Structure 1
């Protein structure tokens, strides 16, 4: 992925993580693995954890510490009502921007 795509992805990563967590509760490594399975292989684990901390601090997820067979307890993230509202806002903004960008692209194809 090029630098421009990486920068664009950083701007929407919070929404992507909320969308993944909305499907089922998950802990950080599971979320990172899901991102990779969906083709977001360039996102590093440290970035995922930084965004998870931010959405936790903003109150968009509920966090439960679950014992782990190896090492410290895992934080399992579940989307709460505030997180669902934030995700709905994200998808609304995404739809708006995607529509405007597509219109701009098609307008410029004739030039």
Structure 2
């Protein structure tokens, strides 16, 4: 049974990790390592190696862009930020997320709709 629970968690994370990255980037542009630390800390990804495919998909969809920026403590870093399309996508996700999670909670808790 525990393996099934782990699989559910992995599927849930897989479904929302891109939106979590957009949410973090909506606060401020940041470089990949820092973004990965934020996502690892919250249990959304396992390591930085998991992040780059996510960033690639977001970039391919036009939801983020990257630019070279001074780090203040070393070499120039590649920073990521939301595009207007990314802001719109995140806004739509936020609009749908709360009622969705409320419905899921009601269903799995056994509450009547």
Question: Which TM class, normalised by the smaller chain length?
Answer: 0.7 to 0.9
SS, match of residue 77 in structure 1: strand
2:102 aligned residue: 99
Q: Distance in 1 between matches of 2:36 and 2:26?
A: 15
TM-score normalised by the chain length of structure 1: 0.81
Q: 2:19 aligns with which of 12, 15, 22?
A: 15
Q: Extract unaligned runs of 5+ from structure 1.
A: none
The answer to whether residue 34 in structure 2 is matched with residue 36 in structure 1 is no
TM-score (norm 2): 0.79
CA-CA distance at 1:3 after TM superposition: 2.3
RMSD over aligned CA atoms reads 2.3
Q: Identify the residue that residue 82 of structure 1 maps to in structure 2.
A: 85
Structure 1 residue runs of 4+, over 6 Å off? none
Measure how far apart 1:44 and its partner are.
2.4
Helix, strand or coil at the partner of 2:62: coil
Aligned length: 106
1:65 pairs with 59, 63, 68, which one? 68
Unaligned runs of at least 5 residues, structure 2? none
| 2-structure distance, mates of 1:57, 1:12 | 17
